[in-house]
Structure 1
Amino acid sequence: MLQELKMESRATMSAMRDTTSEKNVPKNESQKGGNLFLQTHGEAIAAGVSGALILLAWLGQSWLGSLDVICYLTAYVIGGFAKAREGLLAFIHEKKLDVNLLMLLAAAGAAGIGYWLEGALLIFIFALSGALEAYSEQKSRRDLSALMSMKPETARIIIGGKERRVPIEQLKVEDQVLVKPGEQIPVDGTVVRGMSEVNQAAITGESVPVEKGKGAEVFAGTLNGTGSLMIRVDRLLEESTFSRIVRLVQEAEEQQPSAQRTIERFEGWYVKVVLAVTALLLFLPPLLFSWSWSDAGYRAMVFMVVASPCAVVASIMPAVLAAMSNGARKGLLFKGGSYVQALADIGVVAFDKTGTLTHGELAVTDVVPLRDWSKDGVLKVAATLESLSEHPIAQAIIRKAQEKEMDVQRPEHFDSYTGRGVKVRWNGRHWRIGKPEWILSPDERDQLLPTLESEGKTVVCLANENGPVGLIALKDTIRTEAQMAIQALKKMGITTVMLTGDRRQTAEVIARQAGVDHVRAELLPESKVQAIRELEKTYGSVVMVGDGVNDAPALAGATVGIAMGAAGSDVALESAQVVLMNDDLNNLPKAIALGKRTGSVIRQNLVFALLMIGVLIGTNLFQGLPLPMGVVGHEGSTLLVILNGLRLLR
């Protein structure tokens, strides 16, 4: 399906560009569109036609005569072709007996003993349940791969002030592309000029367009609104968020829930047992219990129908696919169905701190002037001294000065001292800015720092040759949604833990603000993995949420690793099994709730399906069950478990 969508998208874009072969394009596109329509709706159409033929044969028995058998036979072929082909191919190539082959034999057996209507009904309802199952799969694929039909092909690049359209593959980092109103944004980049609203639902799951101006980040595959944007290319196509999503979607489609794999293994030997018991029912009762051969044959056919594990087999995948589809619409990308189920039994959630619970970017929170200096004076000098540095602390100070529209100048001489700070000559004076330990005496530190450091803030000191003139405190601010997400997890009975490499004092301040239950600080990447193992022993299944390269081992080692999609590193995204595409932590409890709902629906389906099989088999063996009732009971239960699974689409 993905490949077809990809080819469809490319063909359509190519057709729009290729003006030399206009006459051939509509025909080719029409053929492809027709094929895609049949692939999407073929099973439903076949089931509908089969049902219509059965109704015609049943209503017209009096005037059709022997032609009613031809109608039934045609209904058999049209309704059962897809499933019969699937079952025969599995038998020929894999030597595997599956439920499709069992249904084919049951329908043929019913016809063989003269029950054409019952056999045709069996085929019709089986085809209808297959169409519903296909619907859930296609719905999931549509939601997971919405971007495939929006794949950017070309960009409008500005070279020497002139506008040119070029293939996406030719773009380089730092190129500038123009996106006009209503156009698709072709690259991951930063807005350098212009203002517009961008619909980025396909990437982040946000339902409302987001306003984008100078300095804002934009994603390939999103849709520009009413304004024009000039965008600097930050990432090439193969490194873009779009491409990463496509890779994750492809992985998701190859994954199967562990419970589904167990069911499929169970299906193989179960079908053999059903066929063996059917053979025994055909021959033993007439020899041992004085049943007539026709009665034995009838009950054997009923047994083959009602004992088929269709409802059991259909209990899992439609529900899981519906849940994946539901999550995709909200910005939750599951790499496979097994991870949806794994979320149902989570006992503890472990969070990284920087970039996960916090924004991952330092911001100036306090400016403390000393002696006769003012706050603005300290900030302006500090920004001037740091203007040649790329250090995150320096950039945060410069941003704060720019917010206040200060005139930041350049120093005359700049020396960097790794791990301590910088020495600068500016405006005829010698300055230092850096760690308090490098500048302040022990007594000064004891007097000035405890309050700021107790709040988890990083402090730098500004001094000239006459001594310290001010302190600047910075802090990585907590995400606004972190507290709500953690409260929601606690209401679900889930314990929360912070695993961070940061200092314990800073970590504990953030943990208190967010409401996290436990803190483990100053951890190396391998220490985080060890912590995950310890949490598993104490709480059972563990979710790890992170965004950085240092989180990748823990993400891979947890029961379910969840990565921040927009802020996350490539390594984190590769290691995780679930991605929060819009970095919204509120989606975390939603993901776990969705996993719990999915687990509940699957349990309901399996219990119901197994009970129905038991009741139908018992009734048939000890009392006798009419074949029409067996067909309706068996196939009705299959339809019900599929429909119950599709509730998760809501």
Structure 2
Amino acid sequence: MKQKDWIRSLKRHGEGIAAVVCGVFTFAAWIIQHNAYTWSFILYILAYCVGGYMKTKEGILTLINERELDVNLLMLLAAVGAASIGYWFEGAILIFIFALSGALESYTMMRSYRDIASLMDLKPETARLYKDGTEKQVKIEELRVGDKIIVKPGERIPADGVIREGTSSINQSSITGESLPVEKNVEDTVYAGTLNGEGSLVIEVTSESESSLFSKIIRLVQEAQSEMPPSQRFIERFEGIYAKVVVGITLLLMLIPYYVLGWSWSEALYRAMVFLVVASPCALVASIMPAMLSAISNSARKGVLFKGGAHLENLAGVRAVAFDKTGTLTIGRPQVTDVIPLQEYSKEELLWIVGSIESLSEHPIGRAVTEKAEEAGRPLHRPQRMQAVTGFGVVAEFEGQRWKIGKEAFVEDDEDITHLTGIVNRLEGEGKTVIFAQNESGLAGLLAVQDTLRPEAKETVAWLKNLGITVVMLTGDKRAAAEAIAAEAGVDEVYAELLPQQKVERIKALRERYGKVAMIGDGVNDAPALATASVGIAMGNAGSDVALDTADLVLMNDDLKKIPMAIRLGKKAGRVIKQNIAFSLSIIILLILSNFAQSLTLPLGVIGHEGSTILVILNGLRLLRG
């Protein structure tokens, strides 16, 4: 192992190593204390110093910087007090178990941070810039929008961009949580930090280093690590007050029994030291953050990134979830849903003709028809001539015939189409946009397009409703389209034709009715509502920069099914924290009562107190699983 790696490993596992060494010194001293008192005394001193160094340092810094007593100093006082009345072994055992529980808590924190922040190790440092026919290694900070970079097989993609040449499979698990590589072709989007497969790619950069999705994730990680949930803030405030009370009672227990009850000084001091040990709130302090960070770590591995524990707490209490429609409940782009031929054409033939004509169009509806036609596998033909009529449709020469494709008003001047009113009204009533296709013989058929529901949306809504959560849709789209999608998804309430400010007002109204409300969106117009909601959830892939920055939670793979999972995880974390708090308080009360009954020895007090601390940490670690 290289020296730098050895030093890094020592720093990472320092607390655990110190705890083990402390334990070895303690038990070695206990074994030889009757035969080699001087060596036993030296080993006890070493055990105190090695095992207590880190916690003593933390306690002194807290006392100096924040002028607060904490559990670290309480444990130090208890150990020194035990040694002062001759209980060296008991004091050393206290130091050992306290160091061991501290090492375990540090491991929990590091494991949680590592799972969330492992992405930071994936950040590429350099890129292969392709300019004027030559390649040049540059730092990723030097890349600019529009630059072209080359990514070879097995390399990490250094910047967000669009593939201009080449095809490959990309492992996006570090960004989106997808378990399998995704096939990427020309014009597909790729993300910094993802792993290129077997193909070489030429990529045009679309975001500079600091604006890439990867960099945004790193910022989210840093926020998640630094933000403390309200429950933990309360516990830490409580700890400072509680520690002072414990020290005060300890002093009284040292003096009152000696001067008033006639106890010996040794007995009074012993009972005071036992009280100091068992009354310290170590387990209570460790009840929340290990569990919270474990839950955040678990969700991050599944592509759900919380910006802090407070949002996990809030999500657990959500009683209503509001969805944006376009790009959130729906895919965000139109798709062909109906093909109705009216002449001798079959559905396939009509779709092939219209798709061929629209292959030269840049309009989203035209592209949707072309994509649908391409799915059949029959090569499309280009029209001989095509002219776009802005706001209406296109006129084209195709296979020797003149075609008009577009809105109803575009073709109705040429023929009477009142006989189709029923079909058109039905399609439009379903929230669909109707396209008319006309050739020289008359109306050849109708096509309908619609922004379709995400495949997982219906299942997600059902799961949320099973959790007792009301599901609402907030959209700026027309009511007919909104109600059609809402009915298909199973949404409880629909609010359509809303401006961004009206979405905010609706969120406020929902909070008054239900309490905590989550809002899920992807666009700039959703950002005010995301900020107003108890928990704002942004779509990571489809989401705008503003939505990502405003949200409290990001779905990195745009998978709506992760929302019920996150809510259930938040509820489970809440249950684990309540279990920890109830258990730790019960143990403290039981040990204090046992001490007052004079039936508790210092070693049993140490084991009971520090054992409960280890148990609550291990209980929190369960949230790292599955």
Residue 595 of structure 1 is aligned with which of 570, 590, 593? 570
Q: Distance in 2 between matches of 1:329 and 1:144?
A: 7
Residue deviations 1:369-426 (CA, integer Å, cap 9, x gap): 4456665676567557756654322332343455553223475654424xxx246576
- Report the 3-state secondary structure (helix = DSSP H, G, I; strand = E; otherwise coil) of the residue aligned with 1:471: strand
- State whether residues 356 and 547 of structure 1, in contact with CA within 8 Å, keep that contact through their aligned partners in structure 2: yes
Residue 406 of structure 1 is aligned with which of 369, 380, 396? 380
Q: Distance in 1 between matches of 2:450 and 2:217?
A: 32
CA positional deviation for 1:194: 3.2
Q: Distance in 2 between matches of 1:518 and 1:388?
A: 40
Q: Distance in 1 between matches of 2:367 and 2:145?
A: 22
> 2:536 aligned with 1:561, yes or no?
yes
CA positional deviation for 1:86: 0.8
- Amino acid in the other structure paired with 2:568: A
In angstroms, what is the RMSD of aligned CA positions? Answer: 2.6
Q: Distance in 2 between matches of 1:197 and 1:484?
A: 29
CA positional deviation for 1:575: 1.1
CA positional deviation for 1:242: 0.8
Alignment partner, residue 497 of structure 1: 472
Q: Distance in 2 between matches of 1:377 and 1:488?
A: 41
Alignment partner, residue 163 of structure 2: 191
> 2:503 aligned with 1:531, yes or no?
no
Residue 63 of structure 1 is aligned with which of 35, 52, 71? 35
Residue 83 of structure 1 is aligned with which of 55, 64, 74? 55
Q: Distance in 2 between matches of 1:338 and 1:35?
A: 35
Give the direction of change, closer, same or farther, for the CA distance of 1:341–1:235 in structure 2 (3 Å limit): same
- Amino acid in the other structure paired with 1:488: W
Q: Distance in 2 between matches of 1:639 and 1:478?
A: 48
> 2:450 aligned with 1:478, yes or no?
no
Alignment partner, residue 199 of structure 2: 227
Q: How does 1:111-150 map to 2 (within 5 A)?
A: 111-150=83-122
CA positional deviation for 1:234: 2.9
Q: How does 1:282-361 map to 2 (within 5 A)?
A: 282-361=254-333
CA positional deviation for 1:335: 0.4
CA positional deviation for 1:597: 0.7
Residue deviations 1:29-78 (CA, integer Å, cap 9, x gap): 843x3443233211111111111111111112233212212111111111
CA positional deviation for 1:128: 1.0
Alignment partner, residue 547 of structure 1: 522
- Amino acid in the other structure paired with 1:629: L
Alignment partner, residue 155 of structure 1: 127
CA positional deviation for 1:245: 0.6
Residue 521 of structure 1 is aligned with which of 496, 503, 517? 496
Q: How does 1:42-53 map to 2 (within 5 A)?
A: 42-53=14-25
Q: Distance in 2 between matches of 1:144 and 1:77?
A: 34
- Amino acid in the other structure paired with 1:338: A
Q: Where do 5+ consecutive residues of structure 2 fail to align?
A: none
Q: Distance in 2 between matches of 1:609 and 1:161?
A: 67
Alignment partner, residue 552 of structure 2: 577
CA positional deviation for 1:579: 1.0
CA positional deviation for 1:459: 1.7
Give the direction of change, closer, same or farther, for the CA distance of 1:413–1:452 in structure 2 (3 Å limit): closer
- Amino acid in the other structure paired with 1:452: L
- State whether residues 163 and 204 of structure 2, in contact with CA within 8 Å, keep that contact through their aligned partners in structure 1: yes
- Amino acid in the other structure paired with 1:225: G
Q: Distance in 2 between matches of 1:414 and 1:508?
A: 32
Alignment partner, residue 6 of structure 1: none
- State whether residues 299 and 624 of structure 1, in contact with CA within 8 Å, keep that contact through their aligned partners in structure 2: no
Q: How does 1:353-502 map to 2 (within 5 A)?
A: 353-370=325-342, 379=351, 390-403=362-375, 404-409=378-383, 411=385, 413-417=387-391, 421-422=392-393, 424=395, 433-436=405-408, 440=412, 443=418, 446-462=421-437, 469-502=444-477
> 2:244 aligned with 1:269, yes or no?
no
- Amino acid in the other structure paired with 1:209: P
Q: Distance in 1 between matches of 2:141 and 2:61?
A: 41
Alignment partner, residue 623 of structure 1: 598
Q: Distance in 2 between matches of 1:639 and 1:455?
A: 59
223-232 vs 640-649, greater mean Cα deviation: 223-232
Alignment partner, residue 17 of structure 1: none
Q: Where do 5+ consecutive residues of structure 1 fail to align?
A: 1-25
- State whether residues 152 and 184 of structure 1, in contact with CA within 8 Å, keep that contact through their aligned partners in structure 2: yes
- Report the 3-state secondary structure (helix = DSSP H, G, I; strand = E; otherwise coil) of the residue aligned with 1:74: helix
Q: Percent identity?
A: 55
Alignment partner, residue 140 of structure 2: 168
- Amino acid in the other structure paired with 1:360: G
Q: Distance in 2 between matches of 1:410 and 1:92?
A: 83
169-178 vs 458-467, greater mean Cα deviation: 458-467
- State whether residues 312 and 605 of structure 1, in contact with CA within 8 Å, keep that contact through their aligned partners in structure 2: yes
- Amino acid in the other structure paired with 2:27: L
CA positional deviation for 1:486: 2.1
Q: Distance in 2 between matches of 1:185 and 1:410?
A: 41
- State whether residues 384 and 396 of structure 2, in contact with CA within 8 Å, keep that contact through their aligned partners in structure 1: no
Q: Distance in 2 between matches of 1:413 and 1:222?
A: 42
CA positional deviation for 1:90: 1.0
- State whether residues 187 and 237 of structure 1, in contact with CA within 8 Å, keep that contact through their aligned partners in structure 2: yes
- State whether residues 356 and 380 of structure 2, in contact with CA within 8 Å, keep that contact through their aligned partners in structure 1: no
408-417 vs 374-383, greater mean Cα deviation: 374-383
80-89 vs 289-298, greater mean Cα deviation: 289-298
Residue deviations 1:290-309 (CA, integer Å, cap 9, x gap): 22222211111111111101
User: What TM-score, normalized by structure 2, do the two folds share?
Assistant: 0.92
- State whether residues 475 and 495 of structure 2, in contact with CA within 8 Å, keep that contact through their aligned partners in structure 1: yes
Q: Distance in 2 between matches of 1:85 and 1:405?
A: 74
CA positional deviation for 1:220: 1.2
- Report the 3-state secondary structure (helix = DSSP H, G, I; strand = E; otherwise coil) of the residue aligned with 1:152: coil
Alignment partner, residue 80 of structure 2: 108
CA positional deviation for 1:437: 5.2
Give the direction of change, closer, same or farther, for the CA distance of 1:384–1:411 in structure 2 (3 Å limit): farther
CA positional deviation for 1:365: 2.2
Q: Distance in 1 between matches of 2:384 and 2:103?
A: 69
Q: Distance in 1 between matches of 2:250 and 2:157?
A: 61
Residue deviations 1:544-590 (CA, integer Å, cap 9, x gap): 12111111112111111111111111111111111111111121111
616-625 vs 425-434, greater mean Cα deviation: 425-434
CA positional deviation for 1:439: 5.0
- Report the 3-state secondary structure (helix = DSSP H, G, I; strand = E; otherwise coil) of the residue aligned with 2:616: helix
Number of equivalences: 619
